[in-house]
Amino acid sequence: MKVLFIGSRLYDDVAYHVDKLGIESIITESNEEAPNLDLATKYYIVPRGMEKPMEVAIDENVDAIVPLLGIDPPLMAVALMKEEIEEKHNIPVISSNVNAVAIASDKIKTKKFFKSIGINVPPANVLKKDDFETEEEFIEKLGFSFPIVLKQGEGQGGKDICITKEFSDVLDYFENFDEALIEKFIEGSEVSIEVIGWNGEYLPLVPVYKGETNLEGIHPIKRLRYGPCDFKDIGNDEFRKLAKHIATNLKSEGTIDMDLIYSKKENKVYAIEINTRPSGTRYLSFACTDLNPLNLLVDIASGNFNVESLEKDMKDYYTLEIPVGDYEGPDPQEPLKEYLNGNFIVHGPKGYQRITIRGNTREETFEIAKELTGNDYTI
């Protein structure tokens, strides 16, 4: 069995699993300074784009391709490559197709998609710079009032997002953009959930909690997060059902996640975003369920994905994830990205490191956090 991995930056997540399965691994990577290159059997430094990886896949006669890309821009090129290489060379690519990527990579299309399958979305409108002059006119055209969230169709990690109560910020925003997707600000709890899909079968993992939406616009990647969710009026099965409904209709493949806002006041879930790539919350999902989302992609590549039995294997641990910047606690044990010999994983680049902790109870995760960092965390 031979698998091509596109991108080396996330490869250490799967390295242990790939070796354990005896898979021959090839990485293509465009940055020769990128980490993890030596963890594969073989690697190629290639120009950006999917032309060369496709050539390598064909020349090397690989059995499958697993894209491991943590950013949005290359996803459409990957999807186009998938279309071609699956059809012409019968090499499966474990990621989403063109249609799913087109919907997820544009927040305006995502919204239409959510609506079309009966999912709640925050009230929204698309306005152009010339659509209004005064605040009154702006609010009239918008159809709702402040606070609001201005966004662009494309973006991740809070890029080009402005959350505000002030019309002056709107004017500033339109200095930089001609058009914006403008949503009503929803007060609520931010939740993410991943779904692994292949061949029409979908496995939703676990809803994780990422903190409350806020007018300061602090993005969830900067917050303490935990899993699974524990809301009083909505069970985690409901989130899993919703996630499965979304993935099934999107016809996603490989790993995706969705960003949701749960309003306790209304007991209502709003969907805001879908990402058709490895999730920023994958370590939390892994800690809770004992299913490593990226290892599951490797399993799919090796023809091994049975939702029914995975549902049975899924565990119920608790997890806590803390942004620490630079981790200085006790050394994690090998393998570094698995929970085999320890109860925590340190990940992310220096300066932006996070610790994901696994425990049998929520209290235990906080105790471990204190041992590792010396700090008391509360939620």
Ligand X SMILES: Nc1ncnc2c1ncn2[C@@H]1O[C@H](COP(=O)(O)OP(=O)(O)O)[C@@H](O)[C@H]1O
Binding residues for Mg ion, per CB under 5 A? 259, 273
CB of 299 to ligand X, least distance (A): 28
CA 190, 369, 322 angle in degrees (round to 5)? Answer: 35
Query: Which of the listed partners (ligand X, Mg ion, none) does 327 bind, with a CB threshold of 5 to 8 Å by partner kind?
Result: none
CB of 264 to ligand X, least distance (A): 14
CB of 64 to Mg ion, least distance (A): 29
Edge-first strand order for the sheet with 124-128 is 124-128, 179-184, 148-151, 162-164
Cβ proximity to ligand X, 43 vs 283, nearer residue: 283
CB of 278 to Mg ion, least distance (A): 14
Residue showing the smallest CB distance to Mg ion in the complex: 259
Cβ proximity to ligand X, 160 vs 364, nearer residue: 160
CB of 316 to Mg ion, least distance (A): 26
CB of 259 to Mg ion, least distance (A): 4
Query: Which of the listed partners (Mg ion, ligand X, none) does 111 bind, with a CB threshold of 5 to 8 Å by partner kind?
Result: none
Cβ proximity to ligand X, 123 vs 329, nearer residue: 123
Cβ proximity to ligand X, 30 vs 263, nearer residue: 263
Query: Which of the listed partners (ligand X, Mg ion, none) does 368 bind, with a CB threshold of 5 to 8 Å by partner kind?
Result: none
Query: Which of the listed partners (Mg ion, ligand X, none) does 185 bind, with a CB threshold of 5 to 8 Å by partner kind?
Result: ligand X
- Convert the chain into a string of H (helix), E (strand) and C (coil): CEEEEECCCCHHHCHHHHHHCCCEEEEEECCCCCCCHHHCCEEEECCCCCHHHHHHHHHCCCCEEEECCCCCCCHHHHHHHHHHHHHHHCCCECCCCHHHHHHHCCHHHHHHHHHHCCCCCCCEEEEEHHHCCCHHHHHHHHCCCCCEEEECCCCCCCCCCEEECCHHHHHHHHHHCCEEEEEECCCCEEEEEEEEEECCEEEECCCEEEEECCCCCCCHHHCCEEECCCCCCCCHHHHHHHHHHHHHHHCCCEEEEEEEEEECCCCEEEEEEEECCCCCCHHHHHHHHCCCHHHHHHHHHCCCCCHHHHHHHCCCCEEEEEEEECCCCCCCCCCCCCCCCCCEEEECCCCCEEEEEEECCHHHHHHHHHHHHCCCCCC
Query: Which of the listed partners (ligand X, Mg ion, none) does 186 bind, with a CB threshold of 5 to 8 Å by partner kind?
Result: ligand X
CB of 65 to Mg ion, least distance (A): 26
Cβ proximity to ligand X, 143 vs 330, nearer residue: 143
Cβ proximity to Mg ion, 171 vs 221, nearer residue: 221
Cβ proximity to Mg ion, 259 vs 338, nearer residue: 259
CB of 273 to Mg ion, least distance (A): 5
Query: Which of the listed partners (ligand X, Mg ion, none) does 253 bind, with a CB threshold of 5 to 8 Å by partner kind?
Result: none
Cβ proximity to ligand X, 149 vs 234, nearer residue: 149
Which parts of this chain interact with ligand X (CB under 6 A)?
107, 122, 149, 151, 155-159, 161, 183, 185-186, 190, 213, 219-220, 259, 261, 272-273
